[in-house]
Each structure stands twice: as C-alpha cells, then as structure tokens.
Amino acid sequence: MRLTCPNCSAKYEVDEAMVPPGGRDVQCSNCSQTWFQPGPRRVEPPAPEPAPEPAAPEREPRLSEVAVEGPSGAPGAEANAEAPRPTRRQIDPGVTDILREEAEREARLRRGDPPPEPAPQQEEMPLASKPRPTREERLAELEGAEDAFDTEQISAAVASAAAASRREQFPDIEEINSTLRATGDRHEDEASATDVDTVGAAGRRRGSVRRGFFMMIILAAVLVGIYSYAGQISEAVPQAGPALESYLDTVNAARFWLDDMARSLASGSEG
C-alpha cells in the first residue's frame, strides 16, 4: 500500500495490514505532517441493476402530508450534522520507524548521497586452550632432559664444588705456613704486632667461613622452598610459570641421576 504525504508529497510503501479497514492517523517522518489515512478499499462487483418498474401516475400531495413530512426532515439533518467524528488512533512506533526510514532514504536519493556503509564487524577469534601434558609426555621430557645432561660433566662439577666448599671451611695449610715464621727470624720491632695480626687474620677467616656456610644453608633452603611451593608460586605469579617449569625439570633430572648413581653404587657394593 502506498501512502503519500499531502504536505511534502513524500511517498511510503507500507503493508496493507498496518492500516485497518476503518483507517488510522499516520505521520510523515519528513515534515511531521499528520493526516487520516482511510483503509484499503475493496473492489466489489457491481450489483445487477433491477428491472425498471412502470412509472405510477403522479398525484398532488395533500396539505396534511406536507405538514407532517416537513418537521420530520429537520431532526434527521441535525442528527447527521452532529454525528461524532471517528477518534484518531495513536500511530504504532513500528510504522513511525518505517516511515522515517523511507523518508530518509528518499531524501538521500534526492540529494544523490550514497547509502551509509554498514559498520565493519570484527570476527571473534577462538581462544585455543593449551592442552595439559599427560604423565607419559612429562616422563618423556624428563628422560630427554636427563639424557641432555652429561654425567661426566655433572660429576666434575660436583667434585669441584665439594673441593671449593672444603677449602672455604678449612684454612689453607700453605697459607698458614707462609704466615708463620720462626721467632728467631722475626725482627724485634715486629714481634708484638705479628702475633696480633695473625690472631686477627684467623678470626676474620673463621668469620668468612661461617658466613659462607650460613649463605649456603640459606640458598639451599630457598631452592627447596621454590621446589616445594612451585604450584602456589605459579598461580600467584603466572609470568614465572615457564621459569619454574624449567627449574623443576632440572631438579627432577638431577634427582633421577642421583637415584641412578646410588643404585649403581649399591649394586656394586653388593656384588
């Protein structure tokens, strides 16, 4: 059904179901003009014309009939004049939106403006969840990490670390021998000062050994704590997850190597 605004001649195409047969009020979205739009007219086939009746002879009306028919016609005319007009119905918001869109489209076509481009839609990227490694995969990684370590290099590193710790715990004999000199070879002016310096150096050396021992204990406690609470640390600090996994793999590989060495030594002693 086509609607035409009587004010600005804007035309709209709407569904016939939106306008009831009794008509309704519509509003132009271009100039806001409101008018009453009658319902769609149904074309009915014309009724067959009745056969003409023979004309009756005319007779003159009597005075009494004219007097009776005269006053009765006036109330009928007044009733027709005072008949109530149909009330205006509110326009459906859906019809108003359609009319407004049609008016905007026709206005753009008149101005020659291109239709607005739809906003680009960004496709959502699916979040790929990283599968958790199975127990077999973890064991395979640990075996690969154990194979990557050279047992000879580890043994040499452990031996050098043990020798260094022993040297730090006990004073060097050659250094003590070089500092100790015979009383007869000392100069008289250095006799009193040498004994004091020797005692002070020994005290400082013992203090350094004690500090190194405590530092090793603290470092070992920190490493054991990180290994024991790796899961809680990874949850609290997700950025440290890769480093903790590498540290756990290294410690597990060292544990497996020590276990193998202990078993080989036990089997050798039993044999």
pLDDT at 154 > cutoff 50: yes
**Spatial separation of the C-alpha atoms in residues 87 and 80, rounded to whole Å:** 17
The pTM (predicted TM-score) of the whole model is 0.25
Mean pLDDT estimate for the chain: 70
- pLDDT value of residue 41: 67
Model confidence pLDDT, tens digit, residues 211-229:
888 899 998 888 888 888 8
Structural domain boundaries of the chain?
Answer: 1-40+86-112, 135-181+193-270
**Spatial separation of the C-alpha atoms in residues 185 and 191, rounded to whole Å:** 10
127 residue type, one letter: L
Q: Which residues contact 86 (CB under 8 A, 6 or more apart)?
A: 22, 23
- pLDDT value of residue 45: 57
Give the containing element (helix H, strand E) for 86: none
Model confidence pLDDT, tens digit, residues 38-97:
877 665 556 666 666 665 555 555 544 444 444 444 444 444 445 556 566 667 777 888
**Spatial separation of the C-alpha atoms in residues 77 and 69, rounded to whole Å:** 13
Model confidence pLDDT, tens digit, residues 230-269:
888 878 888 888 888 888 888 888 889 988 888 888 887 7
Model confidence pLDDT, tens digit, residues 166-207:
555 555 666 666 666 544 455 454 544 445 455 556 667 777
